[in-house]
Structure 1
Amino acid sequence: MAETDVSGLTQLGASVASPQSPETAVLERVPASNAGTRYVVRFTAPEFTSLCPMTGQPDFAHIVIDYVPGDWLVESKSLKLFLHAFRNHGAFHEDCSIYIAKRIVELLNPEWLRIGAYWYPRGGIPIDVFWQTGPVPEGVWLPDQGVPTYRGRG
């Protein structure tokens, strides 16, 4: 089994303050020790928060990120801090969702990535945002994201 090189990481194993904004958050990567093998990595953030850019009220989402790595993996602590940086950031649902996906794509250059952002209702209307970099690579097992459409209480 190959050992992952973590020598260039600045946040893992260190006490790090939450970034002030998504733009200043540092996303880090580690080499994929299984490069050449197609598999899916899934991150689920069921308690994502940001702010409405118009009212400043909190918005909540359940975000699922799936990707097929190339040479790199996203380091999970840096991803957690990056997502946390949205907590005081005002942006529309679509902007938050696509920004998250594109930052990860920019960092990793994965073979494939998709994001499902399942936002809880604002003004009585839930907004779900989906984006992917292209067709699912052949031969990849991709489970359903498992987040049901919002139905209110019961």
Structure 2
Amino acid sequence: MDETIYSGLKQLGGATVMPQSPEEAVLERVRNPQDVPYCVRFTAPEFTSLCPMTGQPDFAHLMIDYVPGDWLVESKSLKLFLGAFRNHGAFHEDCTISIARRLVEFLEPRWLRIGGYWYPRGGIPIDVFWQSAEMPSGVWIPDQGVPPYRGRG
């Protein structure tokens, strides 16, 4: 097999086991083959974690936008990383910001933002937003488009 930018990937194309924790999860990356700034969006509408106090499941719609630098995150490894939060007890704010910070540290993107749109528990929805820097100019970055929680309307 010829060497490509994808040759070092270990999880893609093979059987994998869901990591038991976000710390165990292995993120993988590939070289960004493009030399122009552009936005990449990942949407995880069924993200789950656990309440650290009750162990009850918490649900969120996550939107991750980033402008790559030298690296792209491999999407299967991202899926496994996000899935590892199913067994992880942390408040909404901690889950959302921890995901963003791990991606920024690993990828060193030009820019990254995350929107964590959490479904209500105890009658209060919690939305968590963070970005690594000012939004870059010259790149089309669409609105995340997730409406605020309205209940039964």
What TM bracket, shorter-length normalisation?
A: over 0.9
Deviation at 1:7, TM superposition (A): 1.1
Matching residue's letter, 1:29:
R
Q: Which shows bigger deviation, 136-145 or 41-50?
A: 136-145
For 1:61, give the aligned amino acid: A
Q: 2:60 & 2:4 partners in 1: Cα distance?
A: 32
Per the alignment, residue 29 of structure 1 pairs with 29
What CA distance in whole angstroms lies between the structure 2 residues aligned with 1:14 and 1:79? 15
State the aligned residue count.
Answer: 151
Q: TM-score normalised to the size of structure 1?
A: 0.96
The one-letter code of the counterpart of 2:101 is K
Alignment-mate amino acid for residue 11 of structure 1: Q
Equivalent position of 1:51 in the other structure: 50
Q: Report the alpha carbon displacement of residue 153 of structure 1 after superposing the two structures with TM.
A: 1.7
How do 1:90-129 and structure 2 match up within 5 A?
A: 90-129=89-128
Q: What SS is found at the alignment partner of 1:12?
A: coil
CA distance in 1, matches of 2:69, 2:133: 15
Moved beyond 6 Å, runs of 4+: none
Q: Which runs of 5+ in 2 are unaligned?
A: none
Please tell me the residue identity of whatever aligns with 1:83.
Answer: L
Measured after TM superposition, the shift of residue 138 of structure 1 is 1.1
Q: Report the counterpart of residue 62 of structure 2 in structure 1.
A: 63
Tell me how far 1:4 sits from its aligned partner: 5.7
